[in-house]
Amino acid sequence: MSPSKSSSLAARLWAESGDLADSCLHHPFVAGIGDGSLDRDAFRRYVAQDAFFLHAFLRAYALAAARSETVGDAAVFHELMGGVLAELELHGRYAQALGIDLAHITPYPACRAYTDFLLRTAWTASLGETLAALTPCMRLYVFLGTELAKGRGVDGPYADWIKTYSSPEISALGAKLEMLLDRVAADTPAVRDAYRYAMECELEFFSAPLEAAQSSGA
């Protein structure tokens, strides 16, 4: 369905990247989380990469907060940073259980491309473009968690992942980020390109742990 011209910018950008959201939902990695069939080593690789990503995501939020023009917007970024810290706590528990050394992570090319894009945008582009680059991650994970929560994976080995990203708390944070995007960003080609590229990065991010196994013969 095409987005209404009267809908919010966040809603339009999400709708226009519906093809990528659907590709992520049906990606073998995400599907494996949903039905519990994902190889444990692939999930282990993902957790390490996602921890590296979240540190960069946190820094991008901090840079955006520093450029906020109102105390209210800065407060929202502060809350969003708290959400990232909570995610990192979850990854810390995963790391302990899976034997991951989070202090020594080598990012895959897909992860490095995504984090470089986020930080470059946060340092050099407008706040609106930065918000467009940040929003897809939150919006997509809420979507994936909500959809996967409808299946049997809520009782499977990746139940904590599904419960985290289908939680009302994560959904509320995602909605606040979208409201910031609507309030700050203009509907420009640069904003649209940033949003679309971030969605493309998300899809590549899910592929990387599986491709790493294939290249190593694991």
Per-residue pLDDT tens digits for 107-163: 999 999 999 999 999 999 999 999 999 999 999 999 999 999 998 767 889 999 999
Residue 185: helix, strand or coil by DSSP?
A: coil
Q: Could you tell me the pTM of the whole model?
A: 0.93
Contacts of 6 (CB under 8 A, 6+ apart): none
pLDDT at 215: 54
Compute the distance between CA of residue 47 and CA of residue 31 in angstroms, rounded to an integer: 16
Asked if residue 218 has pLDDT above 50, the reply is no
**Percent with pLDDT over 90 in the chain:** 85
Asked if residue 217 has pLDDT above 50, the reply is no
Compute the distance between CA of residue 27 and CA of residue 21 in angstroms, rounded to an integer: 10
Provide the token pair at 174: 């995602």
21: left (phi over 0), alpha (psi -120 to 50) or beta: alpha
Question: In Å, how far from its chain's centre is CA 22?
Answer: 15
pLDDT at 1: 44
Indicate if the alpha-carbon torsion angle 185, 191, 192, 198 is positive or negative: negative
Q: Report yes or no: 110 and 126 within 8 Å, Cβ to Cβ.
A: no
Compute the distance between CA of residue 24 and CA of residue 142 in angstroms, rounded to an integer: 12
Residue 118: name the closest of 47, 54, 75 by CA.
54
Which pLDDT band, with edges at 50, 70 and 90, does 216 fall under?
very low
Which amino acid is present at 162?
A: I
